Chain A
Amino acid sequence: MAQKLYITTSPHVHCGDTIERNMRWVIWALMPALFASFFMFGLGALIVTATSVLSCLFFEWFITRFLLKRPSTLGDLSAVITGILLAFNLPSNIPLYMIVVGALVAIGIGKMAFGGLGNNPFNPALVGRVFLLISFPARMTSWPVPHQLTAYTDAVTGATPMNLIGQIAGGNSAAADQLPGLGDLFLGNIGGCIGEVSALMLLIGFVILLCSKVITWHIPVSILGTVTVLTGIMWLINPVLYVNPLYHLCSGGLMLGAIFMATDYVTSPMTPKGMVWYGIGIGFLTVVIRYFGSYPEGMSFAILIMNAVTPLINNWCKPKRFGEAVK
């Protein structure tokens, strides 16, 4: 027998899954929405997304190389996803330096400060976004109206469905007339952040994530379900003040957050039961912030708050143990 044999304990086979495979599928799943945003916001969307991805990659490389002095982690593609998601949460007319600052905060503080992929308690892209929202509230809350394909920072801005919904709830019933039709809302023919406008494209992304077994249905469905139920109740109580739940579902980053941000592996719970509670929490907080908060959009805050609760959820929600019921 000439062969040298390896001695390792079982199991001796692996299903072949890798971090990269999962990340690649997330990137593929983000593509339909990216395509839609190019179509709606043209040049602006392109510049913002490219800048965000490149800055995230740069900061990750710089920090691992010069500050942590570790082998490069660019290959795991997580920085690309953070870059795309950060861009998706920005208006398409935001100046370059703000994007770079956002990327630095996302990667530097949101991820690397905690020890890199796997150790960060908060979704890095959201950390970046919220930092920008607090630092540059004016730039972060004015969104260009679609179809200005060659405009960038000079794009004309206008009210988004989220603003209008807020105004309606505030008693300005005239705003109701300005609300776009549900069809436009579903396809994304509205103002808003780059990645959040087309509910349809985001749902296609959801299907891609499910089919490639990157995520399970629990988090997105429980978020969307909770929002539907809560806004549905409000709508039934007072249809003049509160809009139809479908408007809530299709606007203001809810889909983007539910499908791509809340499902981030690192910062979401580990058991199906925990995932459902986490989703309900996010849905609830989003609705509360939307109705009563001072920001028109609650998704980012809701997810970050629930990220902070995730360790507790992991302690509370244990999987269903084999043989537990018959004890």
Chain B
Amino acid sequence: MNTFKIGGVHPEPNKLTADRKIETLALPVQAVFPLSQHIGAPAVPCVQKGDTVRVGTRIAEPGGFMSASIHSSVSGKVAKIDSVIDASGVRKPAIFIDVEGDEWEPSIDRSDKLVLQSNKSREEIVECIKNAGIVGMGGACFPTHVKLCPPKECTIDTLIINAVECEPYLTADHRLMLEHSDEIIIGIKIILKVLGIDHAVIGIEANKPDAITLMRSKTSMVSGIEVMPLQMKYPQGGEKQLIEAVTGRQVPPPPALPANVGCVVQNVGTVFAVYEAVMKNKPLIERIVTVTGQDVKNPCNLKVRMGTPVSQLIEYAGGMPENTGKLISGGPMMGRPLLDDTAPVVKGTSGILMIPEADAIRRAERNCIRCAKCVQACPMGLEPYLLATASEASDWECAEENWIMSCIECGCCQSTCPSRRPLLDWVRLAKNRVGGIIRARNAKK
């Protein structure tokens, strides 16, 4: 079975919710939409306080080429445009909508009927995806329409569907495949059409045999779409690792893109959203969120309207366990800690994880014993111990020479270190500084 070659770790999978059907969460009382839910420029509000909106009404427009629209996921009145502390821990502008009823934009097809064909052209499809505000749903939140228009000089030959879900605990993509396989396959065909190619590979880790079997049987009659089971290893869902696992090609160091090796990677969640946008005219207003944790009473997979406060999801899962010490948006390897449970669900919220206090506390760090375990773990072939030391000493030159910009912030190094060194903290710091230095240098040229 294929996998990527360098490094990687095997965290406990803890997929507590793999067998839990997706349930629909009730509407919130108030929905909050931060204007930066994606990589790139924040969206610009196009509604005002007091405006009435319906489900699917666009409430913010893209703030640039690299940006995405935002749509209301509820019907009601715009209460205010204010700021909210989002998953990044930073106060950001957001639109608040008080919910009244559940009235949808009439253009949206709300039926469950599968739509197989559309006669939209490539340009129309991209426009449709752009208008629907779709971004990468695996967590990176890269605007999808940008990714579907790779630089002209790159020849794309393979579309890779990321159904790896290598983060422990999360099962949103897994459930989506089991319950919406037909939609996903149509979504893949749509994206293939946009890219003008006829070869797609769905990469699924071997711990989801049911999804592999189902997707295989669904694609057996479809030419050009292949299901590839992959060995379990974190961070296989990382774009570069997945491309290598599937095609054997390695994306060169930044600023090279997957397109440079002929690949475009899309998450299954994104593919599903593309189907809904193109075939059902439905913007990105809902997503699947795994609500989970060792001591959570009723861990579950929920279909949630964007903007719903996290507290409501936790409530549904049986409340936050007494012993919770950390609340995370996303998975345990790359997720972001939340300040409290008032943050809203956004496009990139793949999971809500509650970690017991005993595991939430970092243990005291000790001397590096030079065991080289971090070097063995790093999937990018870096020397985390060295980068961290360089960072501590503010030796940005050494960090740059040792490829710090290649770091994908996967956390393998830190999660392996027997001395519990906060390696990734130091690496992030240095990466930030070196990134700044490189930008300044390029600007001068």
Contacts and interface: CB of A to CB of B under 8 A. Distances in A.
B252 A323 contact: yes
A116 B367 contact: yes
B147 interface: no
Contacts of B416: 15, 17
A12 B320 contact: no
A7 interface: yes
Given A22-B371, A118-B369, A10 B336 contact: yes
Given A6-B360, A322-B406, A17 B332 contact: no
Nearest to B360: A6
A275 to B, nearest CB: 8
B382 interface: yes
Contact of A7 (B89, B332, B373, B386): B89
Given A13-B11, A118-B370, A326-B252, A321 B382 contact: yes
A187 B198 CA distance: 64
B7 to A, nearest CB: 8
A323 B256 contact: yes
A121 to B, nearest CB: 11
Interface residues of B, number: 75
Given A13-B415, A322-B381, A5 B375 contact: no
Contact of B367 (A6, A118, A272): A118
Interface stretch (A198-206, A263-271, A289-297): A263-271
B170 to A, nearest CB: 13
Contacts of A267: 370
B383 A10 contact: no
A21 B428 CA distance: 28
A150 interface: no
Interface in A40-83: 76
A8 B362 contact: yes
A46 B235 CA distance: 49
A323 B366 contact: no
A216 interface: yes
Interface stretch (B54-62, B266-274, B323-331): B323-331
A325 interface: yes
Given A15-B9, A118-B367, A9 B253 contact: no
B334 A10 contact: yes
B376 interface: yes
Interface residues of A, number: 44
A265 B385 contact: no
A178 B381 CA distance: 52
B359 interface: yes
B330 to A, nearest CB: 8
A323 B250 contact: yes
B337 A13 contact: no
Interface string B164-203: 0000100000000000000000000000000000000000
A1 B381 contact: no
B325 A6 contact: yes
Contacts of A175: none
A1 to B, nearest CB: 5
Contact of A22 (B9, B333, B418, B425): B418
A118 B368 contact: yes
Interface in B370-419: 370-373, 375-376, 378-383, 385-386, 402-403, 406, 409, 411-412, 414-419
B322 to A, nearest CB: 7
Given A6-B337, A12-B332, A323 B415 contact: no
Contacts of A10: 332-336, 409, 411, 424
B445 to A, nearest CB: 20
Contacts of B362: 8
Interface stretch (B19-27, B100-108, B275-283, B338-346): B338-346
B381 A324 contact: yes
B66 interface: no
Contact of B406 (A5, A117, A118, A321): A321
B381 A11 contact: no
B326 A6 contact: yes
B11 A8 contact: no
B80 interface: no
B381 A6 contact: no
B249 interface: yes
A6 B362 CA distance: 10
Contacts of A325: 250
Interface string A307-327: 000000010001111111111
B81 interface: no
Contacts of B168: 13
19 contacts: A5-B324, A5-B337, A9-B424, A9-B425, A10-B332, A10-B333, A12-B328, A12-B353, A13-B11, A13-B333, A19-B418, A118-B368, A269-B372, A319-B383, A322-B244, A322-B250, A322-B379, A323-B256, A326-B252
Query: When A and B form their complex, which 6 residue pairs have the shortest distance between CB atoms, in order from nearest?
Result: A11-B411, A118-B367, A321-B381, A13-B332, A17-B418, A322-B380
Given A13-B333, A270-B385, 11 more contacts: A9-B425, A10-B411, A12-B326, A12-B328, A12-B337, A13-B11, A14-B420, A117-B367, A118-B366, A322-B250, A323-B251
